[in-house]
């Protein structure tokens, strides 16, 4: 293993020693400290943005003036406090195993190494490291979109598709809580005095299900439902969590309009809708297609046959693509097991992605 590989592996293992559960500033302090110190070692001007979800680190490199390159990374993981101690990251052969290494600690390490490889920088570069991507980026969304509006292009170091393909399109993601109110009554003595929120919810969910258009990429999942208080009581409340994925902005807006327009059909029942996460689709625009063509040329010079594809999940790339800025997503190293106990990343891909990202920074 050469010196560069040794350092990349050491950085990934060191970062992975720190927990960073989404939206928990106290538990994430160790990761923030490590990242801030590493940015400073690279001579970055580091700005700390305090948000309710935690610290957004804003590393700024290169000359001032001009539209910067922007790289979006998130340091939060889905794993709770204590996981890094219970299941420490480790090297086994040509793989690094551990919580968060694939999504997306390896992507962060590749970016930091790419900055060194691309130096000296001819254009300004910003790296945003955010604390809440896994839960929808509510705290960091405004900072992300503001930075993207100023950027010449945006790179996102989320994990790639299988085989290392970049993500040049992503489905939009919207989550909702559908709440129904009713009127309680004794189910045996006077059921007619009540109004079942559960029955109303079930009927409205049948209506919701008909909004799906799987053939065009619009899927709807009712993942969790609840309601009522006892089997012998007509339910006075019920609710459901609804997940919507759409390939296009038009489809996302169609479903959103239909959901906000739901009305109860039973007397003495009511409906309300709460919107949670709302990320627009990342559609494959001409600007994104052109960005991928550039990336493919750079990859070819490195001996890599780079491919592209569409992802069903959302990322922070979804937030910036509608702004018209060129976006390339899935630039993280290859591996597998995201959010799973067998999460892992390939060491050789860590090196390749470092070189690809450096090439994109230097040649745009």
Cβ-contact 130, 144 below 8 angstroms: yes
Tens digits of residue pLDDT in 33-52:
999 999 999 999 999 999 99
Exposure string of 339-358, with b = 16+ CB inside 10 Å and e = fewer, is: eeeebbbbbebbbbbbbbbb
Is the whole model's pTM more than 0.85, yes or no?
A: yes
- Report the phi/psi class of residue 304: left, alpha or beta, with left for phi > 0 and alpha for psi in -120 to 50: beta
User: Domain with 295 in it: what CATH number?
Assistant: 3.40.630.10
Tens digits of residue pLDDT in 259-300:
999 999 999 999 999 999 999 999 999 999 999 999 999 999
Tell whether 177 and 166 lie within a shared domain: no
User: Domain with 195 in it: what CATH number?
Assistant: 3.30.70.360
Cβ-contact 356, 333 below 8 angstroms: no
Residues annotated as part of the active site? 133
Tell whether 208 and 115 lie within a shared domain: no
Tell whether 296 and 233 lie within a shared domain: no
Tens digits of residue pLDDT in 183-198:
999 999 999 999 999 9
Cβ-contact 198, 269 below 8 angstroms: no
Q: What is the tally of structural domains in the chain?
A: 2
User: How many other β-carbons are positioned within 10 Å of the β-carbon of residue 129?
Assistant: 24
What is the mean pLDDT of the segment spanning 193-207? 98
- Angle at CA of residue 53, ends 52 and 57, nearest 5°: 105
**Listed residue (160, 5, 6, 16) closest to 98, CA to CA:** 16
Q: What is the 3-state secondary structure (H, E, C) of 342-359?
A: CCEEEHHHHHHHHHHHHH
pLDDT for the residue numbered 1: 67
- Angle at CA of residue 78, ends 315 and 135, nearest 5°: 45
Domain boundary among 212, 247, 279: 279
Counting DSSP H helices and E strands in the chain, the numbers are 10, 18
The span from the CA of 199 to the CA of 56, in Å, is: 45
Q: Which domain holds residue 260?
A: 172-279
The span from the CA of 275 to the CA of 242, in Å, is: 10
Tens digits of residue pLDDT in 223-249:
999 999 999 999 999 999 999 999 999
């Amino acid at each position: 293993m050469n010196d560069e590989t040794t350092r990349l592996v050491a950085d990934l293992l060191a970062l992975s020693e720190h927990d960073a559960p989404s939206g928990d500033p106290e538990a994430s302090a160790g990761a923030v400290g490590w990242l801030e110190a590493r940015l400073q070692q690279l001579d970055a001007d580091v700005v700390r943005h305090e948000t309710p979800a935690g610290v957004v680190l804003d590393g700024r490199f290169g000359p001032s003036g001009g539209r910067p390159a922007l790289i979006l990374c998130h340091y939060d993981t889905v794993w709770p406090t204590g996981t890094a101690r219970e299941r420490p990251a480790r090297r086994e052969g040509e793989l690094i195993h551990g919580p968060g290494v694939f999504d997306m600690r390896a992507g962060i390490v590749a970016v930091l190494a790419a900055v060194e490889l691309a130096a000296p920088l001819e254009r300004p570069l910003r790296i945003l490291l955010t604390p809440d991507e896994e839960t929808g980026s509510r705290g960091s969304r405004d900072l992300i979109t503001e930075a993207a509006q100023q950027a010449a292009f945006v790179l996102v170091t989320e994990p790639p598709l299988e085989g290392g393909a970049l993500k040049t399109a992503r489905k939009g993601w919207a989550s909702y809580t559908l709440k129904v109110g009713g009127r309680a009554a004794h189910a045996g003595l006077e059921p007619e005095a009540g109004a079942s929120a559960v029955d109303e919810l079930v009927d409205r969910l049948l209506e919701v299900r008909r909004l799906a258009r799987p053939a065009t990429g619009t899927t709807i999942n009712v993942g969790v439902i609840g309601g009522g208080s006892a089997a012998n009581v007509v339910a006075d409340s019920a609710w459901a969590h609804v997940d919507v994925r759409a390939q296009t902005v038009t489809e996302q807006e169609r479903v959103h309009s239909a959901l906000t327009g739901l009305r109860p059909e039973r007397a003495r029942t009511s409906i309300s809708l709460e919107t949670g996460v709302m990320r627009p689709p990342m559609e494959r625009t001409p600007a994104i297609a052109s960005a991928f063509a550039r990336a493919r040329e750079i990859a070819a010079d490195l001996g890599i046959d780079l491919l592209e594809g569409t992802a069903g999940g959302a990322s922070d790339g979804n937030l910036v693509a509608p702004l018209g800025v060129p976006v390339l997503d899935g630039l993280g190293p290859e591996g597998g097991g995201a959010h799973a106990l067998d999460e892992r990343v390939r060491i050789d891909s860590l090196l390749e992605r470092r070189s690809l990202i450096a090439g994109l920074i230097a040649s745009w």
